[in-house]
Amino acid sequence: MSPKKAKKRAEGASSNVFSMFEQAQIQEFKEAFTIMDQNRDGFIDKNDLRDTFAALGRLNVKQEEIDDMLKEAPGPINFTVFLTMFGEKLKGADPEETILNAFKVFDPEGTGILKREFVTEMLTTQADRFTAEEMEQMFAAFPPDVAGNLDYKNLVHIITHGEEKDQE
C-alpha cells in the first residue's frame, strides 16, 4: 500500500476516535505517545519501540516481535492512529483483563508477581507519578510477601471486584 493510501486509510479510520475517550484519557494517551516517540518525529517506528522496551528493562526484544506490533497499524503510527489502535483494543475489553495486561508487560515470564522495589520505581518515575504517601497507602492495602513480591493478579482482582480472590 502506498504511503498516501495508508495515510488516507489511517485518517478515515480515525474520524471519530476522539469521541471514544474523555479529554483526560486522551491527555494520558498523548503522554504515553510522547514517551514512546523517542526521536520526537511525531511517529512511532521500530527504533522508538526498541528504545521504549529498553527503557522498561526489556533489552533483547526480537525484531519479529517489534515488526508484528507495527503490522497491527494500518500505516505509519501518528497520534491519531495510536489512539485508534487503543480504541480498538479497549472496545469490549474487560477492565480486569486490561489492567492485568498492563502488569504483564513488566512480567514477561508470566509469574504473576513483581518486586516491590520495581513497582515503586515504575509508579514514582513514569507518567502519572505516585507520591511516597500514595505508595505507602497502596502497600498498606496490598502488602507484598516477605520476599518483597507483589501478587499483581490478586491486586487487579481486588481493584476490579472489590474482594480477595479465593486461593486456588
Higher pLDDT, 14 or 125: 125
Which pTM was predicted? 0.52
The string of DSSP letters for 109-164 reads T--SEEEHHHHHHHHHHSSSPPPHHHHHHHHHHS---TTSEEEHHHHHHHHHHSSP
Q: Which residue has the cell 522496551?
A: 53
Q: Phi, psi (5° rounding) for residue 158? A: -65, -40
CATH architecture type of domain 23-90: Orthogonal Bundle (1.10)
Contact by Cβ (8 Å): 143, 155: no
> Is the Cβ–Cβ distance between 61 and 53 less than 8 Å?
yes
Spatial distance between the Cα atoms of 30 and 51, rounded to a whole number of angstroms: 18
Please give the pLDDT value at position 89: 76
Other beta carbons within 10 Å of 77: 24
Tens digit of pLDDT for each residue in 18-60?
A: 888 888 888 988 999 999 998 999 999 999 999 988 888 888 8
| Nearest C-alpha neighbor of 80 from the set 144, 167, 19 | 19
- Evaluate if residue 3 carries a pLDDT over 90: no
* CATH 1.10.238.10 location in the chain: 23-90, 96-161
Residue 49's pLDDT is 93
Q: What is the pLDDT of residues 54-113, one digit of tens each?
A: 888 888 889 999 999 999 999 999 999 999 888 877 776 677 888 888 888 888 888 999
Decide if pLDDT at 13 tops 50: no
Q: What is the CATH number of domain 96-161?
A: 1.10.238.10
Q: What is the mean pLDDT of the chain?
A: 83
Q: Dump pLDDT digits (tens) for 110-129.
A: 899 999 999 898 889 877 78
pLDDT tops 60 at residue 159: yes
